[in-house]
Amino acid sequence: MSRVIVTPKAAAKEVLKDASMQKQKDMMAGHYDRLTSAPETGAKVASTFVPGNLNELIMCFDLVNNLPEVNAIQSGLRRQSGGYVLEAEKIGHSEDVCTYVKSDVGMMAKGNIAPNGKKFPNPDVLLLSYTGCFTFMKWFELLREQYKCETIMLHTPYMGDGKITPNMVEYMVKQLKEEVIPKLEQVSGVKFDIDRLRENLKKSVTAEEDLVWVLQSAKNKPSPIDAYFGGIYYIGPIFGAFRGTDDAIEYYKFLREEVAERIAEGKGPVTPDGDMGKEKYRLVVEGPPNYTNFRQFWKMFYDEGAVVVASSYTKVGGVYDLGFRHNPDKPLETLAEYCLGVYTNRSLPMRIDMLSNYINEYEADGLLINSIKSCNSFSAGQLLMMREVEKRTGKPAAFVESDLVDPRYFSAANIKNRLESYLQMIEQKRAGSKAA
């Protein structure tokens, strides 16, 4: 092994256990420092979105990647988003719209402070590469109004008929060749080098392999990971600013080793309160989590012995477990196919298939939907999804409601009640099937 982990105090096992977490922490801290020191270092900054991001390409131009959604998540976790949302509403945004946008806009209005306490730099370019949500388009129009910087649109058609057609790929490749790349060259002053892109893509594949291995480890009983709450940490590097880097390769390698060890020891997932107790329920979860009360939300699950074995949210930045890998031999086509294939760009029937398959493959007890008040992209249609998945799998489904980063829409008592009655329903179902 080429890596050296310097944590002298810890025993070997704990070193391994902490390695991925520590690594991710360092990566994130380093990233935010790179971002906030851009004015001094002269680094150019590209803002872009998580679903359909082109990190491998962005890196070809030495641009530092800033992700407004991740900033909104950070604000949510740090309990600042509530204030930001109110600020955005004060300056004219409707209470009805996506709270990610409002958190971001509010943060801007309040000085644009990054998690490291320093100011975010203004973006040099807004790369409107997005999939599966129209709000993104409006979001960058709103940011462009403020920053008055170059905005590049990469339009990803929607997989309405459940398939990627040659016309879609051709359209996207043409946009990449004739719009995105020339403009990125212009903004960055760096000439595009397709071999550099291939190199980055190659690195992506390595990390993608390990990520999939980790996600699929939840097929074990007990599951060594929580594929929703824990999964959110696991997807951080690959969905964010690190896909295509050595850092990501290393992170996923550590992670895979840790998980392998947990399987060998017959352990369940790690939670904020340490190792989870006995696995009593295995769930599949659809929809984004709530970030303002994230730990409280998670605790409701692990206190009951409920572990999430698969989730759709961990596929918003790429559906790798269904087989997609970036292909260095077809660099631009692969970027197009990546964008086209992310979860929210998949038609509703595709989403239903995916969730039903998860329930079967991961031997889950049922489906839980966290419906997000301000996210139409996920939420519109979820009631039908729920009924359809129930019908197909014969497993019960349930619905809770919250919001991503607006604390006004998190009702702990309500969610806890619903979760408890859902778990009881699962118990009854089990008792019923035993009796039968």
Partner 1 sequence: MDASLTRSATAGIVARAQDLFEDLSFNAAREWKAAKPGRKVVGYMPIYVPREIIHAADMLPLGVVGGGDQLEVIHGDAYYQSYICRIPRSTIELGVSGRLDFVDGMLFPSICDVIRNLSGMWKMMFPDVYSRYFDVPQNYRDEIGGNYYVNELAELRHDLGELRGKPITDDELRHSIAVYNENRKLVRELYAFRAERPWQAPAPEVYLVLRAGLVLPVEEHSAMLRDYLAAARAEERPMRDNCRIVLTGAFCEQPPLNLIKSLELAGCYVVDDDLLLVTRWLTADVPTDGDPLRNLATSFLHQSESTAAKYEPDQKEKGQHLVRAVKKSGAEGVIFAAPSFCDPALLDRPMLQHVLKDAGIPFIAFKYAENSGQMQPIREQAGTFADSIKLWSGA
For partner 1, the binding residues in 124-143 under the rule CB under 8 A are: 128, 132-135, 137-139, 141-142
The closest alpha carbon to 321, from 198, 227, 221, belongs to 227
Partner interacting with residue 158 (select from ligand SF4, partner 1, none; CB below 5-8 Å by kind): partner 1
Sign of CA dihedral 239, 241, 245, 248: negative
**Nearer to ligand SF4 (CB atom), residue 320 or residue 343:** 343
Min separation Cβ 344 and ligand SF4, Å: 6
Whether 290 and 403 have beta carbons less than 8 Å apart is answered as yes
Partner interacting with residue 171 (select from partner 1, ligand SF4, none; CB below 5-8 Å by kind): partner 1
Report the side by side order of strands in the sheet with 281-286: 306-311, 281-286, 366-372, 397-402
Is residue 279 within the footprint of partner 1 (CB under 8 A)?
A: no
Query: How many residues bind to partner 1 according to rule CB under 8 A?
Result: 56
Which of the ranges 75-83, 166-174, 209-217, 245-253 carries the binding residues for partner 1, by CB under 8 A?
166-174
Taking each helix axis from N to C end, the angle separating 194-216 and 229-239, rounded to the nearest 10 degrees, works out to: 170
Among 170, 246, 265, 420, binds partner 1 (CB under 8 A): 170
Min separation Cβ 143 and ligand SF4, Å: 13
The closest alpha carbon to 105, from 128, 72, 62, belongs to 72
Whether 113 and 120 have beta carbons less than 8 Å apart is answered as yes
Among 375, 397, 398, 419, binds ligand SF4 (CB under 6 A): 375
Is residue 377 within the footprint of ligand SF4 (CB under 6 A)?
A: yes
For ligand SF4, the binding residues in 88-107 under the rule CB under 6 A are: 98, 100
Which of the ranges 203-211, 225-233, 237-245, 376-384 carries the binding residues for ligand SF4, by CB under 6 A?
376-384
Among 136, 291, 302, 313, binds ligand SF4 (CB under 6 A): 136
Whether 400 and 418 have beta carbons less than 8 Å apart is answered as yes
What are 62's two structure tokens?
């030495």
**Nearer to ligand SF4 (CB atom), residue 133 or residue 364:** 133
Whether 377 and 135 have beta carbons less than 8 Å apart is answered as yes
Which of the ranges 16-24, 56-64, 259-267, 368-376 carries the binding residues for partner 1, by CB under 8 A?
368-376
Whether 215 and 354 have beta carbons less than 8 Å apart is answered as no
Residue type, 259: V
| DSSP assignment of 152-188 | EEEPPPPBTTSS--HHHHHHHHHHIIIIIHHHHHHHH
Among 348, 357, 361, 392, binds partner 1 (CB under 8 A): 348
Residue with tokens 């008592």: 413
Is residue 423 within the footprint of ligand SF4 (CB under 6 A)?
A: no
What are 281's two structure tokens?
């329920």
**Nearer to partner 1 (CB atom), residue 259 or residue 389:** 389
Q: Is 299 exposed, middle or buried (0-12, 13-18, 19+ CB in 10 A)?
A: middle
Beta-strand relationship, 274-275 and 270-271? antiparallel
**Nearer to ligand SF4 (CB atom), residue 238 or residue 307:** 238
Alpha-helical regions (H) of 380-411: 382-393
Whether 134 and 101 have beta carbons less than 8 Å apart is answered as no
Is residue 388 within the footprint of partner 1 (CB under 8 A)?
A: yes
Q: Helix, strand or coil for residue 285?
A: strand
- 370 has which bridge partners? 400
Which of the ranges 73-81, 155-163, 373-381, 422-430 carries the binding residues for ligand SF4, by CB under 6 A?
373-381
Among 179, 199, 279, 304, binds partner 1 (CB under 8 A): 179
Min separation Cβ 435 and ligand SF4, Å: 42
Residue with tokens 């398959």: 357
Partner interacting with residue 202 (select from ligand SF4, partner 1, none; CB below 5-8 Å by kind): none
Is residue 133 within the footprint of ligand SF4 (CB under 6 A)?
A: yes
Is residue 156 within the footprint of ligand SF4 (CB under 6 A)?
A: no
Residues lying near partner 1 in the complex (CB under 8 A): 91-94, 96-98, 101, 128, 132-135, 137-139, 141-142, 144-145, 148, 151, 153, 155, 157-158, 160-161, 165, 167-168, 170-171, 174-175, 178-179, 347-352, 371, 373-374, 376-377, 379-384, 388, 401
Residues lying near ligand SF4 in the complex (CB under 6 A): 98, 100, 133, 135-136, 344, 375-378, 404
